[in-house]
Chain A
Amino acid sequence: MTDLTFLSAPSSGFWRRFQRHKGAVIGGSLLVLVLLAVLIGPFLWPHAAGQINLTARNLGPSLSHPIGTDHLGRDLFAAILQGGRVTLLVGVVAMALSVLIGAAVGILAGMVRWLDAPLMRLTDLFLALPVLPLLLVTIMLWRDSLRALFGAEAGIFLLIVAMIGLTSWMQTARILRAEVLALKKREFVIAATALGLRPWGLIRRHILPNVMGVIIVSATLGLANAIITESALSFLGLGFPPDHPTWGRLLFDGTEYLTLTPARAIWPGLMITLTVLCANYLGDGLRDALDPRSFNGRK
């Protein structure tokens, strides 16, 4: 059973333990840096993302185009900044949806006894779904109708976010259920119940604050997972349309020009890798910092 008392006393060992995990600190800072660059960058950078300039086609890196241009003379750095916005937005929203569903299912299964078995069977069912083929099929079948309903970008965004969220909540649900079941046996929860706290109040006052750490860890790892899934979909040509390129799409477009301008494929790929690596390291560090058992073991 994990002991998550840090939230009641925020100044306790959590930060110290987190700071000891160097990978997590570096990962976290880099992740913030990427976020800032993507958010602020497009306003500061002189070139617009889609601007075609036929006199500057397939350029190598230079001062005005630090990572070169593509076959239409569009600045790649601007495209990466702009694409990062979409990629990270998809990642964050899909992760939020997945964590929300996972937390709801996990806490419900842990709190309500008669819901436990059906919800866990449902989780097992979802775990048996072939996720990648199913994602591809759904996007193929529903892309056009959603595009007609919500417009080209919003339609595909909603579809991808919904599908990633709906197919990735199972681990969170399982972990949270186990945490809630363990918490329910603790004295303070029993005391709160004995004092007449209603179930909803119990969840809000005692359960949620104590499982927040677990939720944050799964959110971080879920972000990495969502970004990889979205990039894979875009790479397979079933993600965002080429006029709103995400990093995955830029990589996919770049693979056609590997002999001419390999930078077109390398940079978006590097950005995906960097973000995912940072999120994974951050998740690892948070987990170690939140789990006192690993205190003696890890660096």
Chain B
Amino acid sequence: MLTYCLRRLAFSVPVLIFISFAIFLLMDMAPNDPTANLPMSIPAETRAQLREALGIGDPLLTRYLLWCKQFFVHEPLNWLTDLTGLSFGDPDRLRVLSWASRAPVVELIADRLPQTLWIVGLSYILGIAIALPVGIYSAYRQHGWFDHLGSFISMIGYSVPSFFLGVVMIVIFAVKLNWFPSIYDTTLTVTGWESFVAQLRQMVMPVTILALYNAAQISRYMRASMLENLHHDYVRTARAKGASEPRVVMTHVARNSLLPVVTVIALGIPQVLAGAIITEQIFKINGIGELLISSIQSGDLPVVQTLTFLFAVLIVLFNLLADVAYGLLDPRISYD
């Protein structure tokens, strides 16, 4: 198992290097001049110096390696320094700075991450909590009315784009009924009961939308996995030895069916984070998705580069976790 994990880990290194290089190349080849937004009054000489200072004339590989050094060496070291208070190496090392706000990109992201994590995390947990029972019951009563209803709703949750569902919810619950605010107030801090209720109210719509989407996807997998397991011999054996129906379904079938679903759940996390880009845009939540969009619109390449790469890291990481979790949970699988 350990060798397998190490091998998988070793394989993800070239993947990450490749993706980081692809992202770097994509941004680099694009017709884009970071000094284009500076005032016209800057003389051409100064402009050339500025470009040189940004390292634009250097060979491609040099720039890529420098970026890697900033990203993989400097930033983690800075983070360690902030965390422990100890200083490692040269304190004035180059940081990945945002072109728009001149702040270190890592700080910008750290600023935005909690909002995204709250919404995404809550919706994912809620989605799983809905999906598992629905999947189990609709497989158990296959072709029953609950199964048909569940399949229909999950098909809808699967097909209705979140940006449309968000708009519909805003029209109904914010404009017509005035139950929930349509714009997420991120300056709100929870100090007492009243602000807590306000926080809950503004979270209801974004969390519901993402949760419905997650529930739709996961319940489909759970149902399919249950259906596959329900007709195995061990189920008949369990019934034959007189185990009660809930015990057969819950302890025997559901437990075994959960195995592939756990993988799906782990694999889904990066996708949900990326999907939050749209939800954040609908409700104007200032999470990382909103940061990505606003940086894209202002041409702030360092932020865009870092965020895109961060999403790639998340995908690779959760792929790895899903594989390892599958091996740990299912004793039948041995990787060695």
Partner of A277, one of B30, B155, B182, B277: B155
Interface residues of B (CB under 8 A from A): 15, 18-19, 22-23, 26-27, 30-32, 142-143, 155-156, 158-161, 163-164, 167-168, 170-171, 175, 182, 227, 270, 274-275, 277-278, 281-282, 292-293, 296-297, 299, 304, 307-308, 311-312, 314-316, 319
Cβ–Cβ < 8 Å partners of B15 in chain A: 124-125, 128
The answer to the question of A30 belonging to the interface, with a C-beta cut-off of 8 Å to chain B, is: no
A-B contact pairs, 8 of them (CB 8 A): A129-B19, A130-B312, A142-B30, A142-B31, A251-B163, A273-B160, A297-B227, A299-B143
Chain B residue contacts of A284, Cβ below 8 A: 155
Interface SS, B side: helix
Contact A276 B163 (CB under 8 A): no
A190 within 8 A of B: no
Taking the complex as formed, is A164 at the interface, i.e. its CB lies under 8 A from any CB of chain B?
no
C-alpha gap A9/B255 in the complex (Å): 42
A131 contact from B155, B182, B274, B319, Cβ within 8 A: B274
Please tell me if the beta carbons of B171 and A235 are within 8 angstroms of each other in the complex.
no
Are A232 and B27 also in contact (CB < 8 A) when A133-B277, A258-B175 are? Answer: no
Q: How many residues of A contact B (CB 8 A)?
A: 46
Given contacts A129-B19, A259-B175, A269-B164, contact A280 B315 (CB under 8 A): no
Given contacts A137-B308, A142-B30, A144-B31, contact A132 B274 (CB under 8 A): yes
Whether B159 pairs with A231 at a CB distance below 8 angstroms is no
* A29 interfacial by beta-carbon distance below 8 Å: no
Complex formed: what's the CA distance from A35 to B283 in Å? 32
Given A133-B292, A297-B227, A299-B143, does the pair A235, B319 have CB atoms closer than 8 Å?
Answer: no
Complex formed: what's the CA distance from A258 to B171 in Å? 6
CB of B278 within 8 A of CB of A236, answer yes
Q: How far in angstroms is the closest Cβ of chain B from A128?
A: 5
Cβ-defined partner of B18 (8 Å) among A23, A125, A277, A299: A125
The answer for the CA separation of A255 and B22 in the assembled complex, in Å, is: 35
Known A-B contacts A130-B308, A258-B175, A281-B155; the reply to A235 vs B299 at CB < 8 A is: no
- Is there contact, CB below 8 Å, between A128 and B312? yes
Complex CA distance for A85 and B107, rounded to whole angstroms = 44
Q: Which one of A136, A144, A258 contacts B170 once the chains associate, using CB atoms below 8 Å?
A: A258
- Say yes or no for A88: interface residue by CB 8 A criterion: no
Q: How far is the CB of A97 from chain B (nearest CB, A)?
A: 19
Complex Cα spacing A138 to B305, Å = 11
A237 touches B167 (CB 8 A): no
Contact A273 B161 (CB under 8 A): yes
B171 touching A266, Cβ below 8 Å: yes
